[in-house]
């Protein structure tokens, strides 16, 4: 079953607008929630992340909102720019036995910011 559900699959926003991408999870063992950004032809790269004891984290124009009771988190991109056009993945981390861990990714959102 899909452990991390991401929506929408694609998103078109005008320059200067707000982009919002949502994710939901079921596994309460998840204890860390990063977002990755991927440009065409490249591997994903960490954008911003949040721990479940925090409800919001902001880095520049990027903000994660986290709702632990609803098991949902979202990425907000303020003042969206054409250079933000990329695929965005939410992810969730769970610890395994010992000091090991596993990252599970959502299906991704293709964001297009029109000039």
Partner 1 sequence: NAGVTQTPKFQVLKTGQSMTLQCAQDMNHNSMYWYRQDPGMGLRLIYYSASEGTTDKGEVPNGYNVSRLNKREFSLRLESAAPSQTSVYFCASIVGRWNTEAFFGQGTRLTVV
Q: Note the residues at the interface with partner 1 (CB under 8 A).
A: 6, 9, 32, 34, 36, 41-46, 49, 51, 89, 91, 93, 95-96, 98-108
Q: Could you please report the per-residue DSSP string of 98-110?
A: TT-EEEEE---EE
Least separation in angstroms between residue 47's CB and partner 1 is: 11
Least separation in angstroms between residue 44's CB and partner 1 is: 5
**Of 72 and 87, which CB lies nearer to partner 1 in the complex structure?**
87
**Of 17 and 57, which CB lies nearer to partner 1 in the complex structure?**
57
Q: Give the separation between CA 61 and CA 64, rounded to whole angstroms.
A: 10
Is 110 in contact with 96 (CB distance < 8 Å)? no
């Amino acid at each position: 079953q899909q452990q991390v559900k991401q929506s929408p699959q694609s998103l078109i926003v005008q320059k200067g607008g707000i982009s919002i991408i949502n994710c939901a999870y079921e596994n309460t063992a998840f204890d860390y929630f990063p977002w990755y950004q991927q440009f065409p032809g490249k591997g994903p790269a960490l954008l911003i992340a949040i721990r479940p004891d925090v409800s919001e984290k902001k880095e520049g124009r990027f903000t994660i909102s986290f709702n632990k009771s609803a098991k949902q988190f979202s990425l907000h991109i303020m003042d969206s720019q054409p250079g933000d056009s990329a695929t965005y993945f939410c992810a969730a981390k769970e610890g395994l036995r010992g000091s090991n861990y596993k990252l599970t990714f959502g299906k991704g959102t293709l964001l297009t910011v029109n000039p």
